[in-house]
């Protein structure tokens, strides 16, 4: 049994918390003699359950910390595994971050891990930088503009993902104009996952969609959802105005997201752009 498992089994919760905080602390390390005039900030998040947007928000917050401190940010989801890692290269890399995004700097992990001054980030979400539940924060244009600028300049999609998205846009949207995009999670999601907001049911979502559709004089609707019930209801109302991706490439859940009767369809790994 490893040290971490031993501590979890044998010691009280307050000791376990202190140990986890110590293990996940920010650390200064030196890996070699390269780049003595630079300080790298390695962003790591070993997590087997966090989704890709949770990971994106995590990385975004730590990139902002690196910028504020004058460090060079580099994302390492290769040595620190996530739910998205595979045992073989995807698009020529083992770094799960690079399956989808470019690095926020022009330095490789190989060079960073031969450099003199490196900081390993503290493994925690910086809620003060990218708060997930502060509604007031997301109503202020200056906050959104600040985060958007960092995301655009430091965390862009890589070429494989951009090519895939453009191909999907051409296939699904084509030359259509005035398309209202609706992205929704399963209605049961907020009931079962801690610290996540409650989601609207299909009829609440439909009501708000109809309101925006008419207010903004839209002509089509593109829907992205992990609950097939949303699709059926929207299809009944909007008919041929409804656009969606091929469900053969998207995981879908039936009425119960967390029960044993889930029905899924196969999803290609990491967009399959190798």
**Does residue 182 sit in helix, strand or coil?**
strand
Checking if the pLDDT of 260 tops 50, the result is: no
Checking if the pLDDT of 71 tops 50, the result is: yes
144 and 35 within one domain: yes
Q: Is residue 274 part of a domain?
A: no
194 and 96 within one domain: no
Mean pLDDT across the chain, nearest whole number?
85
From the list 20, 94, 82, the residue with the least C-alpha distance to 49 is: 82
Choose one of 124, 159, 194: the last residue of a domain. 159
- In DSSP terms, 184 is beta-bridged to 225
234 and 153 within one domain: no
- In DSSP terms, 47 is beta-bridged to 82
Q: Is residue 166 part of a domain?
A: no
Distances, alpha carbon 213 to alpha carbons 210, 219, 234, in Å: 5, 8, 12
Average pLDDT over residues 215-228: 93
Checking if the pLDDT of 208 tops 80, the result is: yes
Phi-psi region of 239 (alpha: psi -120 to 50; beta: other; left: phi over 0): left
Checking if the pLDDT of 139 tops 50, the result is: yes
154 and 187 within one domain: no
Checking if the pLDDT of 263 tops 50, the result is: no
Residue 247 near residue 265, CB atoms below 8 Å: yes
Backbone angles phi and psi of 51, in degrees to 5: -75, 170
Residue numbers of the domain that contains 64: 31-159
> Which positions ≥6 away from 125 have C-beta within 8 Å?
57, 58, 61, 132
Residue 263 near residue 270, CB atoms below 8 Å: no
From the list 64, 68, 66, the residue with the least C-alpha distance to 118 is: 66
209 and 177 within one domain: yes
What CA–CA distance (Å, rounded) separates 256 from 254?
6
Average pLDDT over residues 230-241: 94
Percent over 90 (pLDDT), the chain: 62
> Which positions ≥6 away from 146 have C-beta within 8 Å?
none
Backbone angles phi and psi of 126, in degrees to 5: -90, 85
Residue 267 near residue 249, CB atoms below 8 Å: yes
From the list 60, 65, 21, the residue with the least C-alpha distance to 39 is: 65
The secondary structure of residue 249, as a DSSP letter, is G
pLDDT attached to residue 17: 72
Give the number of domains in the chain. 3
What CA–CA distance (Å, rounded) separates 262 from 252?
8
Q: Angle at the Cα of 35 (from 40 to 76), degrees rounded to 5?
A: 35
59-63, 134-138, 207-211, 238-242, range with the lowest pLDDT:
134-138
Checking if the pLDDT of 262 tops 80, the result is: no
65 and 12 within one domain: no
95 and 1 within one domain: no
- In DSSP terms, 227 is beta-bridged to 253
Average pLDDT over residues 47-72: 93
pTM of the model: 0.80
Checking if the pLDDT of 185 tops 60, the result is: yes
193 vs 261, residue with greater confidence = 193
Average pLDDT over residues 182-207: 84
Band (170; pLDDT cuts 50, 70, 90): very high
pLDDT attached to residue 265: 35
């Amino acid at each position: 049994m490893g040290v971490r498992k031993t501590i979890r089994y044998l010691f009280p919760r307050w000791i376990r918390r202190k140990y986890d905080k110590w293990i996940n602390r920010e650390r200064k390390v030196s890996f070699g003699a390269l780049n003595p005039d630079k300080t790298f900030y390695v962003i790591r998040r070993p997590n087997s359950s966090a989704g890709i947007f949770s990971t994106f928000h995590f990385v975004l917050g730590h990139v902002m910390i690196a910028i504020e401190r004058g460090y060079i940010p580099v994302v390492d989801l290769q040595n620190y595994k996530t739910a998205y890692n595979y045992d073989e290269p995807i698009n020529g890399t083992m770094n799960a971050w690079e399956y989808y995004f470019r690095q926020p700097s022009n330095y490789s992990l190989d060079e960073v891990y031969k450099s003199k001054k490196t900081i390993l980030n503290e493994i925690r979400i910086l809620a003060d930088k990218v708060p997930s539940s502060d509604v007031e924060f997301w109503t202020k244009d200056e906050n959104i503009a600040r985060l958007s600028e960092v995301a655009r300049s430091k965390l862009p999609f890589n070429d494989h993902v951009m090519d895939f998205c453009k191909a999907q846009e051409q296939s699904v949207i084509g030359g259509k104009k005035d398309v209202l995009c609706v992205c929704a999670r399963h209605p049961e999601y907020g009931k079962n996952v801690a610290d996540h907001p409650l989601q609207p049911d299909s009829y609440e979502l439909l009501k708000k969609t109809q309101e925006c559709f008419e207010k903004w004089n839209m002509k089509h609707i593109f829907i992205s959802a992990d609950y097939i019930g949303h699709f059926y209801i929207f299809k009944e109302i909007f008919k041929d105005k409804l656009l969606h991706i091929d469900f053969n490439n998207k995981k879908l859940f039936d009425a119960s997201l967390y029960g044993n009767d889930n029905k899924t369809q196969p999803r290609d790994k990491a967009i399959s752009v190798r």
